[in-house]
Amino acid sequence: MSRTTGRKSRRPSQQESVPILSAAYLKNAKSKKDIISRLSAITNALESDPELDPSDAPGLASLSTLLVQPDSFLHHKDSDVRLHTLLACMELFYVYAPEPPWDEEEILNIFRVMVRMLGNLGHTLESSGSGVDGGGTSGNSAETSCGENSNNYEHYFRILELLSEVKIGVVLVELVRSTPTDLDPSAEDELRQEALEILCDLIRTIITCVHVDHPPEVAAHAEVAVAACIEEFDGSVPVQVLDEILVFVGAGPIQWVTNPAAVRAAAAVALAKKKRQPPPFPQSEMPPAQIQQTNPQYLVAAKIIRRTEDKISSPIAALLNGLLGGDADVVTSISVVDLTETTTTDARGKTVSTPSAAAVTSTGQVAHTGADVWSITYELHRIAPQILTTVIGTVASSLVYPEVGPRWRATKLLGRLFAARSSNIAVKFRICFSQWLRRSADTEQKIRETMVKGLVSFLTNKSHETDLCQDVNESLATILTKDPSLDVRLLAIRQVCELAHNATNDAISDTAATTPSATTSNTTTPPSRTYTPDISVFSAELLLAVANRVSSKNKIERRDAITGLAQIFHKHYIRKILRHVQDGGDDCDIEVILRVLHEHCSEEQIKKYKFVVEAEEKFGWIPQKVFECVYFSDATDPELRNRIYQIVDDVLLDGGLTATSRAVGLAIILHGLKKKGKENAFKWMCALFSQRSQLQRALGLYLDARVKAKGCEAGSAEAFTADAEAMEKLEVVASLSSPLVGISSSNSDSSADMSSVLKRFHTAKDKHIFRILSTIASPTHSPSARKRAFDELPKRTKGMGAVSVAWTKALARRCSMGAFVNFESIEHCIILAQESFEANDCKVSSLFLTCVKTMIASFPALAATKESFKNLVEFLEVVRTDVTPEAKKELEEYGIVTLISDILAKSASSMPGKGNGDDEETISIYETLRSQLLRLCKNDGTPEQARNSVHALSSLVNPVSQHLSLPSRVKKEKKEFEPLLKALVAPSRLAVPDDSMASKQKSKIVSVLSAIAAVAECAPYAFNSTGEGKTPLCWGERAIDFSLNAVLLGKNTSSNLSNEEYSSDSGSESETESPAKGRRSSTARGNKAAVASSKENDKVNISVHCRMICASIEVLICHIRATIVRAKADGAKSELEAPSTEHVAKVFKTLIDI
């Protein structure tokens, strides 16, 4: 205790103080009120004279003795008397410093009262008029204030202030440190032990009395008062003293307290209930029962440790090492830890070990729950990390402890320490970090689950530690692929995917947590920082390990893995790639789009950019995994199939992207799926969309059949028949939709079988259900129609039961077009293909056209909208007329014309067709298209282009949307195709090419035969119509005669030099009974010199002639098949005559010989 400590300024004494500072003055008190008044006068007198010398006040010694005598003022039954007596004694401590005027027992009694009085400070505020009855802290019965008008906060604060300024607590430290004398040793030991206990109580009370609403001076005085006691110890600080401080450290910086708003709300609800009134607010709006609040005791304890770190660090480290090492003397002497575990049995009869909830202090009081050695060690890294220098190794040694409890807690503690953002313990203790990583293969599931959380937390906070994060990635990948526990793998999948999805390129995002508005201003959640790692911290191997679980036998594991990967792909790959396109909107500059596609779809460009290569390795394969999951059918895993539809529609390319961005994203994804090694994923994608297309058609047929049934007279036989037909079509819809899975059939929905669901659905009285479904039964519906179906159908089918609602929702999801592909994205693909061509980039143009071609294979109507149809015709006209020779070469290289013709051929069946009511623009478009298609058939189209053109012409002549009679259809067919067929079978076109011709001229015969085969298939009436000229053969018969006799059988070719040369080039090694082979063999023997002189030309000739033979076979087969099928379909009204059996036999005999 020191006299040099600064004192509070005091007013100068107005009168002589000697009469007051005497025992006689106090003895003359007549009442309790007079006692308090005289004690206050004594305290003021002592306080007002800081330089008072005890020798100058003769009565001061007797006064000191009187204050502490048994049954005297210090032990008075009234708390206010005791309080003012204590204040006087506190002033006497200063006057008599450094030797107080009392013996050891009296000093201890003073401190006992001091502890009880000081405890009330935690229950009183500066603005309050009195203390709170029943106060007490840490098991000490704190004195309560008496007298409603007394402002006891000032007195309690004065006690703490004197403890801080005068350092009165040092007196107890001296008693604890007193050296043995010749007196009774046991009595001295008992005295020192009692002084130590009171010192611990004092330190605990000083820290506990700090309240969150107190002014900062209270915490500052508490810090100084306790620090003075610790600094007074010369050697080691007693373990019990460390215990009192560490208990508060282990409690953590945040504490949960009762929410005053919740208390008031509960009282209001109870009052309303008592009065039989409605509650003042619904249950969902009730304030939370507890709220988070800054723990002021933790803050004070942390400041004490930092202030006395030089004195206290070694004792704390020794204490923690003793606890962790199992030192019996240490463990039994303090309260901060209980390493034992309680064994209990759960509801399943399984034995569970749980740590003790609380520990018992040395004085028999229960310590704060959670204040154990593990939490204390963790908190110390925030306060004074140097203390843990020798502790980390001890903790790491517990990782191999045979018992599960200590091993688990050591694993958890090290995980928290290594992942702590405020420390670099993992870097300093690499060996311990490696030992911790090996716990990911621990035999105990609980420890492996803790490791998953710790590893993910490390990636969250330590993304800048590249080497360590790589080790963590490997450990997580090992858990994902090899851990035997499903629960551990699921935990790893969910935490890794969630963290990767939330990852950003910004290291830190500051967010302040808020609490409900009902809380007070001082009881708010402290501001916190939410850390999200950079996506680069996740290795490709870790994400591949997640993808490995897609093939798991467990359905939940498969579903969680593919969902997480899809979300990661969308946020960190496709969104990032499309960000500039998205910023440009639907009118984004084509140069931006071309740059994006070249960076991610050109192998040469990809290799130039390291970030593109890394992104491809990390995320580019995810769509492949998504579509490979289509392998799991509805019979195997219907929930996964439903999830795949949702992922494809709403995750890969979400609705938040513009139509232009979705078109570019679709091109990138499809380009990736068509790479070598990913063909299966592309096929499964086509199968998925094919199923949706079939479902849409089936749903449309059902809705039409239902309308027909409703139009029949009720109760008639016709109505029953139509209703049965509609029900059969509904069963087809059900077979293509999701089965009933994961729905409870309890409550009102007692029957959950499909037949009952379909019956309730079919007999629903709400017509809007079927009107809404009709809007999504076509692939050209708008996104708003899809949204309306999702919103309205569950509400309108609610009365059918939960199972019916779930089935209808699944039907709507599977039937409607999502953001991945719809009419908007296809329209923009066509527009972008045209713009790319105009920008002289045929490669990108072909990418967009390939997207259109792929999608209309399942949904032809997507390219048959008015806008898409118009753009396709314009595009075809441009590439066929207004191109330079260089551009024409690129067109041929990337097959632009072939792609357009293929799209037109597939989508023309869904086009409306030319009608009498069309405007001039529409008529002009149809005429332009017709002329271009005819040019491709007759002049310069390739075989595939010619075939596509004929199919497109057929669809334009007789579209599906126009239901014409057979005579009208035949008439239109002949009018369109007879002139074309006549031109195709003209001798100038239908002739075996001469080898002297250019290769391009030679190939024309293949295109002509392909066009004829397509006419035979699409227009059998025109193909079999009577021809003109000297011969009685019709146009089709001329083509058949040429294909069979001239090409396959080689007849009537003696005067045809080119045909003889063809036989030479295609000759076989020996003669056979086949007419074609015999012709080639005989010609070959007479032209060996020609073969040897021009090998390159021979290869072209062989290619042309082989293709010509294949095309001739196609003509013959298409004629036979189409004629028979069409004649059978049209029935008795058909004019077609099936080919004779002799002709069919001749054709197939020739094919067998070939």
Q: Which residues contact 967 (CB under 8 A, 6 or more apart)?
A: none
Q: Return the bridge partners of 366, or none.
A: 360
Helices and strands counted in the chain (H then E): 54, 6
Q: Which is it for strands 254-258 and 290-294: parallel, antiparallel or unpaired?
A: antiparallel
| Of 498, 505, 667, 625, nearest in space to 576 by CA | 505
Q: Which is it for strands 351-355 and 254-258: parallel, antiparallel or unpaired?
A: unpaired
pLDDT of residue 742: 56
**Rounded Cα gap, residues 648 and 562, in angstroms:** 11
Is 175:195 a contact under the CB 8 Å cutoff?
Answer: yes
Residue with structure tokens 């919103």?
791
Q: Compute the C-alpha angle 508/514/517, nearest 5°.
A: 165
**Rounded Cα gap, residues 328 and 311, in angstroms:** 24
CB atoms < 10 A from the CB of 775, how many? 15
Is 301:207 a contact under the CB 8 Å cutoff?
Answer: yes
**Rounded Cα gap, residues 900 and 896, in angstroms:** 6
pLDDT of residue 335: 60
Joined together, the tokens standing for residue 1046 give: 């001239």
Treating both helix axes as pointing N-terminal to C-terminal, what angle do 79-95 and 104-118 enclose, rounded to 10 degrees?
120
Element (H, E) at 257: strand 254-258
pTM: 0.80
Joined together, the tokens standing for residue 194 give: 């009692």
The dihedral through the CA atoms of 770, 775, 776, 779 has a sign that is positive
| Of 19, 192, 177, 165, nearest in space to 105 by CA | 192
Q: Which residues contact 11 (CB under 8 A, 6 or more apart)?
A: 48
**Rounded Cα gap, residues 268 and 461, in angstroms:** 44
Is 860:907 a contact under the CB 8 Å cutoff?
Answer: yes
Backbone angles phi, psi at 141, to 5 degrees: -75, 95
**Rounded Cα gap, residues 1108 and 1125, in angstroms:** 26
Treating both helix axes as pointing N-terminal to C-terminal, what angle do 717-736 and 679-711 enclose, rounded to 10 degrees?
160
Whether the link from the prior residue into 98 is cis, omega within 30° of 0, is yes
Residue with structure tokens 């003073």?
110
CB atoms < 10 A from the CB of 1153, how many? 14
Q: Return the bridge partners of 355, or none.
A: 341
**Rounded Cα gap, residues 788 and 716, in angstroms:** 36
Q: Which residues contact 95 (CB under 8 A, 6 or more apart)?
A: 46, 52, 54, 60
Query: 3-class SS at 140?
Result: strand
**Rounded Cα gap, residues 48 and 67, in angstroms:** 19
**Rounded Cα gap, residues 447 and 413, in angstroms:** 12
Distance from CA of residue 1094 to its chain's centroid?
A: 65
* Position 606, amino acid: I
Residue with structure tokens 């009081």?
365
- The predicted-structure confidence for 523-542, as pLDDT tens digits, reads as follows 443 444 557 888 889 999 99
Q: Which residues of the chain have pLDDT under 50?
A: 2-18, 128-150, 338-370, 507-528, 744-751, 916, 1030-1031, 1053-1099
Q: Which residues contact 730 (CB under 8 A, 6 or more apart)?
A: 702, 706, 758, 761, 762
CB atoms < 10 A from the CB of 526, how many? 12
CA atoms lying within 13 Å on the CB side of residue 801:
22
Encode 467-502 in three state secondary structure.
HHHHHHHHHHHHHHHHCCCHHHHHHHHHHHHHHHHH
Q: Return the bridge partners of 528, or none.
A: 511
Is 761:740 a contact under the CB 8 Å cutoff?
Answer: no
H-type alpha helices, 1020-1094: 1020-1023, 1035-1041, 1057-1065, 1075-1085, 1088-1093
Element (H, E) at 114: helix 104-118
DSSP line for 181-223: -SS-HHHHHHHHHHHHHHHHHHHHHHHHT--TTS-HHHHHHHH
Is 197:138 a contact under the CB 8 Å cutoff?
Answer: no
- The predicted-structure confidence for 336-359, as pLDDT tens digits, reads as follows 554 444 444 444 444 444 333 333
Is 174:212 a contact under the CB 8 Å cutoff?
Answer: no
Is 945:898 a contact under the CB 8 Å cutoff?
Answer: yes
CA atoms lying within 13 Å on the CB side of residue 725:
16
Is 687:612 a contact under the CB 8 Å cutoff?
Answer: no
Query: 3-class SS at 400?
Result: helix
pLDDT of residue 1052: 61
